[in-house]
Amino acid sequence: MQSSRSKPCSCPSLKLREVASMYFTLVAAFLVILVVALQGSAPRQSDFPYKVPLDPQGLLELSWNVSYPEQAVHFQLLIRELHFGLLFGMSDRGEFENADLAVLWSDGHNSYFGDAWSDAKGQLHMDSQQDYQLLGARRAPEGLYLLFRRAFSTCDPKDYLIEDGTVHLIYGILEKPVHSLQAINVSALHGGLQRVQLLKPNISIPQLPRDMKSMEITAPDVVIPSQETTYWCYMAELPEGFSKHHIIMYEPVVTAGNEALVHHMEVFQCAADFDSFPRYNGPCDSKMKPERLNYCRHVLAAWAMGAQAFYYPEEAGLAFGGPGSSRYLRLEIHYHNPLVFKGRRDSSGIRLYYTATLRPYDAGIMELGLVYTPVMAIPPGEDSFILTGYCTDKCTQLALPSAGIRIFASQLHTHLAGRKVVTVLSRHGRERQVVNADSHYSPHFQEIRMLKEVVAVFPGDELITTCTYNTEDRSRATVGGFGILEEMCVNYVHYYPQTQLELCKSAVDPGYLHRYFNLVNRFNDEEVCMCPQVSVPQQFYSIPWNTFNRDVLRSLYGFAPISVHCNKSSAVRFPGQWEKQPLPSITERLREPSPRCPPSPGAQPAAPIPLHLGQLRR
């Protein structure tokens, strides 16, 4: 009787490693053929809707798209002047150390592409798991287009996890031929960083009304100062008798040739308390700037490099014009000019689209987080110090309508020490939803971001905003306040329908802070002066920051009662008892999302892919 088992195969056996090697050799060969075949016309711009210049001269231009079904980002890198290759990648704060990199390099005759990583000393290593997947290259009159793909999460410990929020992109240009990846000296590269929001929300564009009009708030052909950083202020006016309208969309207007210099822009509306505001066109930090311009702080529009047009939900618009609304607007432009170009003229700004046909709801802006007060402080030398501000259930119960509000956008804000910001919605003591989070937050990249999904907030809900700070470069305490070396922790949430609640924030109870200073005096040899005439900042500055004093302050902020600011737009609190309020009790935390690992074909050989790009030049 014939056995049911298969007979041994007489063909020669191949080990799995040999099969894998043959497979990836064929893939590499196919990619070389693909690269040659793709040389010609430039890719369609519609395939890559997001675009940003990487370098100040605009020689490197990155475009990308996001595929949520694939959980991947597709990159298109335009290299206008290709020398001997480049590095492109991501790192925690924009460093070349501990970075995740896609590398194109040439020995002068042959070119290669590979997925690499850098160690703590900046030394490059070929990654054993090649997750930057080369899709092709195209030569065009304007330069070389390099196309590649990267999954959000690869579960490779050497790879960067692409997540919501800010991503620090880094680049480095190879100006000399190199014979191997390991021969690249990162410290000698001409490089830099660019911050973007890679994972743009997939939001459908609402239908726009036929009576929509537009106005441009732009700089009047200013000469960009020949210095690295400039904040430029320009005052504009709405027409006399301008009635109430709804802003339903806005977009950037960037002067051609200045795309790499215009870093971010904001349009502020001035306070209606003043009948007029002086004209001004100059640096925002100039002594010649009229002091009254400090009362122009109501944000109408905010744009940062890499952002596209901003659309309001079709049922709401941002009101401006009409009674109780100031005619005066302040445009603020941040110019980033690291190469110190001279004589560049600029007329950039923001184009507002508006309608006289009012939508069902006025949109509102509410401040969440911490009150601007020095009672909230961060000791010096901290790598990760956390402060939290609360919008309490008592405040939302009193101030929100029974049907609640809908948050559709958010702008996070700290000053220079901020490293991470997150706002969480809590209901009945249980964390329900993240409103907005940025684990790689940078104070140098702030924009209004549309949320992936609208967040419904009802009376009795709590909105808890937590900021993480780094003060390793500081020698004295950093207190809360308006100064750039002081700190803030704010989330400006955009919502509808507009309510009277404009600010819902907190700070530690001053009496408990006074007890902290007393305790420090009792347990330290050096006395902290608590004389009535000595300010809270001065008391913080005089503290000897040993481990005990740090730990007790951290503990104080974690249990002490708070002073709640539940404020109307008039800056007056809603009626009620707001002092010495207990901290919200959270009984159930949100689980940290687990990275979704893409299916792996197995260990890929850590070998670069050869490219036929011709002989490269100096």
Beta strand pairing call for 262-270 and 229-237: unpaired
* pLDDT above 70 as % of the chain: 89
Choose between 203 and 569: higher pLDDT.
203
Choose between 39 and 298: higher pLDDT.
298
pLDDT band at 47 (very low <50, low <70, confident <90, very high): confident
- Which residues are bridge partners to 573 per DSSP? 567
pLDDT band at 605 (very low <50, low <70, confident <90, very high): low
Residue 3 in this model has a pLDDT that exceeds 50: no
CB 131 within 8 A of CB 154: yes
231 is catalytic: yes
Residue 514 in this model has a pLDDT that exceeds 60: yes
pLDDT band at 167 (very low <50, low <70, confident <90, very high): very high
What pLDDT was estimated at residue 308? 81
Choose between 455 and 34: higher pLDDT.
455
What pLDDT was estimated at residue 525? 66
DSSP letters along 514-539, please? Answer: HHHHHHHHHH-SSPPP--TTS-HHHH
Residue 36 in this model has a pLDDT that exceeds 90: no
Question: In 3D, which of 361, 354, 309, 326 has the Cα closest to residue 494?
Answer: 361
Q: Quick one: fold of 364-509+563-591?
A: Jelly Rolls (2.60.120)
Task: Give the residue-averaged pLDDT of 554-575.
Answer: 92
Helix (H, G, I), strand (E, B) or coil at 192: strand
The pLDDT tens digits of the residues spanning 528-550 come to 666 667 899 999 999 999 999 99
Determine the distance from the C-alpha atom of residue 396 to the mean position of all C-alpha atoms in its chain, rounded to a whole number.
Answer: 28
DSSP character for 573?
B
Task: Give the residue-averaged pLDDT of 202-220.
Answer: 92
CA distances from 262 to 56, 229, 346, 349, 350 (A): 10, 10, 9, 9, 12
What pLDDT was estimated at residue 446? 82
Residue 153 in this model has a pLDDT that exceeds 60: yes
Q: Quick one: fold of 50-200?
A: Immunoglobulin-like (2.60.40)
Choose between 86 and 8: higher pLDDT.
86
Residue 618 in this model has a pLDDT that exceeds 80: no
Helix (H, G, I), strand (E, B) or coil at 354: strand
Q: Which of 37-41, 320-324, 396-400, 592-596 has the highest mean pLDDT?
A: 396-400
What pLDDT was estimated at residue 109? 86
User: What is the C-alpha to C-alpha distance for residues 443 and 556, in angstroms, rounded to an integer?
Assistant: 26
Q: Please report, as a single letter, which amino acid is at residue 536.
A: V
Task: Give the residue-averaged pLDDT of 605-618.
Answer: 70
CB 530 within 8 A of CB 517: yes
Residue 201 in this model has a pLDDT that exceeds 70: yes
Task: Give the residue-averaged pLDDT of 501-521.
Answer: 94
The pLDDT tens digits of the residues spanning 235-292 come to 999 999 999 999 999 999 999 999 889 988 999 999 888 999 999 999 998 999 999 9
The pLDDT tens digits of the residues spanning 126-152 come to 999 999 999 998 889 999 999 999 999
DSSP character for 69?
T
What pLDDT was estimated at residue 528? 60
Question: In 3D, which of 168, 158, 182, 157 has the Cα closest to residue 88?
Answer: 168
Beta strand pairing call for 364-370 and 501-508: parallel
The pLDDT tens digits of the residues spanning 52-65 come to 999 988 899 999 99
User: What is the C-alpha to C-alpha distance for residues 184 and 369, in angstroms, rounded to an integer?
Assistant: 45
What pLDDT was estimated at residue 606? 72
pLDDT band at 29 (very low <50, low <70, confident <90, very high): very low
* pLDDT above 90 as % of the chain: 71
In this structure, how many other beta carbons lie within 10 angstroms of the beta carbon of residue 466?
Answer: 18
What pLDDT was estimated at residue 24? 42
| Annotated catalytic residue within 50, 231, 295, 541 | 231
Sheet holding 328-336, edge to edge: 281-283, 229-237, 328-336, 262-270, 296-304
User: What is the C-alpha to C-alpha distance for residues 371 and 569, in angstroms, rounded to an integer?
Assistant: 15
What pLDDT was estimated at residue 367? 93
Q: Give this prediction's pTM.
A: 0.85
Task: Give the residue-averaged pLDDT of 488-513.
Answer: 95
Poorest-confidence range of 16-30, 295-309, 393-407?
16-30
User: What is the C-alpha to C-alpha distance for residues 485 and 587, in angstroms, rounded to an integer?
Assistant: 35
Task: Give the residue-averaged pLDDT of 472-497.
Answer: 93
Report helix, strand and coil shares of the chain as percent, to nearest 5.
10, 40, 50
What pLDDT was estimated at residue 613? 72
pLDDT band at 186 (very low <50, low <70, confident <90, very high): confident
pLDDT band at 512 (very low <50, low <70, confident <90, very high): very high
Find tokens 């005052």 and name the residue: 235
Task: Please list the residue range(s) of the chain that carry CATH number 2.60.40.1210.
Answer: 50-200
In this structure, how many other beta carbons lie within 10 angstroms of the beta carbon of residue 115?
Answer: 28
Q: Is 354 left (phi over 0), alpha (psi -120 to 50) or beta?
A: beta
What pLDDT was estimated at residue 529? 61
Question: In 3D, which of 192, 200, 256 has the Cα closest to residue 54?
Answer: 192
User: What is the C-alpha to C-alpha distance for residues 171 and 311, in angstroms, rounded to an integer?
Assistant: 31
264 is catalytic: no
Query: What are the strands, taking DSSP E only, across 58-132?
Result: 60-67, 72-79, 85-91, 100-106, 111-118, 124-126
What six digits make up the tokens of 123?
Answer: 């030394």
Average pLDDT, the chain: 88
The pLDDT tens digits of the residues spanning 98-122 come to 999 999 999 888 999 999 999 999 9
Task: Please list the residue range(s) of the chain that carry CATH number 2.60.120.310.
Answer: 203-359
Choose between 594 and 85: higher pLDDT.
85
pLDDT band at 577 (very low <50, low <70, confident <90, very high): very high
Verify cis geometry, omega within 30 degrees of 0, for the bond prior to 595: no
What is 203-359's CATH number, 1.20.140.10, 2.30.40.10, 2.60.120.310, 1.20.1280.50? 2.60.120.310
| Annotated catalytic residue within 125, 336, 413, 444 | 413
pLDDT band at 599 (very low <50, low <70, confident <90, very high): low
Task: Please list the residue range(s) of the chain that carry CATH number 2.60.120.230.
Answer: 364-509+563-591
